[in-house]
Structure 1
Amino acid sequence: MKVIFVGPSLPDARRFVAEDMIIRPPATQGDVRLAVDEGARAIGLIDGAFEYVAPVWHKEILYGLSKGVAIFGAASMGALRAAECHTFGMTGIGEIFKAYAAETLVDDADVALLHGPEELGYVAITIPMVNVDATLARCCADGLVSDREARWLKEIARSLFFKVRSWNTIVRNCPQISNTRTEELLRILNNNYVDQKKADAIALIEALRRSDGRSPPPSFVLNQTSLWSDG
Structure 2
Amino acid sequence: MENLKIAIFSKLTLKEKEIKNLFEESNLNNYELTIYDPIKRGDLQKPEMLNYDVIGIIDGCFLQNTAVGHREILNILKNNVKVYGAGSMGALRASELDTLGMMGVGKVYELYKSGKLCDDDEVAVTFDKKTENGEIVQITFSMVSFREIMKNALAENIINQKDYKLIINSAKELYYPLRTYETVFDKSKLDKEIQIKIMDYINTQRDIKHIDGCNMIKKIISDNSTF
Does the pair score TM above 0.5? yes
Over 6 Å off, 4+ runs: none
Question: Does the 8 A contact of 1:42 with 1:213 survive in 2?
Answer: no
Name stretches of at least 5 consecutive residues in structure 1 with no aligned partner: 215-231
CA deviation after TM superposition for structure 1 residue 61, in Å: 1.4
Write the mapping of 1:1-231 to structure 2, written as runs, cut at 5 A.
1-12=5-16, 13-18=19-24, 20-34=32-46, 37-51=49-63, 53-117=65-129, 119-175=133-189, 177-188=190-201, 190-212=202-224
SS of alignment partner, residue 123 of structure 1? strand
SS of alignment partner, residue 197 of structure 1? helix
Q: Report the number of matched residues.
A: 212
Aligned-partner Cα distance in 2 for 1:121–1:65: 30
Deviations 1:93-141 (A, max 9, x none): 1111111111111110111112221744212221110111111111122
TM-score normalised to the size of structure 2?
0.83
**CA separation of 1:81/1:35 partners in 2, compared to 1, >3 Å: closer, same or farther?**
farther
Which is further off, 35-44 or 19-28? 35-44
C-alpha RMSD over aligned residues: 2.4
**CA separation of 1:66/1:52 partners in 2, compared to 1, >3 Å: closer, same or farther?**
closer
**CA separation of 1:102/1:39 partners in 2, compared to 1, >3 Å: closer, same or farther?**
same
SS of alignment partner, residue 167 of structure 2? helix
Aligned-partner Cα distance in 2 for 1:37–1:121: 23
Q: Which amino acid aligns with 1:129?
A: M
Name stretches of at least 5 consecutive residues in structure 2 with no aligned partner: 25-30
Deviations 1:183-226 (A, max 9, x none): 333333x3333311111111111111123399xxxxxxxxxxxx
TM-score normalised to the size of structure 1?
0.82
Percent identity over paired residues: 26
Question: Does the 8 A contact of 1:134 with 1:194 survive in 2?
Answer: no
SS of alignment partner, residue 116 of structure 1? strand
Aligned-partner Cα distance in 2 for 1:117–1:156: 28
CA deviation after TM superposition for structure 1 residue 26, in Å: 1.6
CA deviation after TM superposition for structure 1 residue 181, in Å: 3.2
CA deviation after TM superposition for structure 1 residue 52, in Å: 7.5
Partner in structure 2 of residue 217 of structure 1: none
Aligned-partner Cα distance in 2 for 1:87–1:35: 25
Aligned-partner Cα distance in 2 for 1:185–1:47: 26
Aligned-partner Cα distance in 2 for 1:147–1:31: 43
**CA separation of 1:35/1:133 partners in 2, compared to 1, >3 Å: closer, same or farther?**
farther
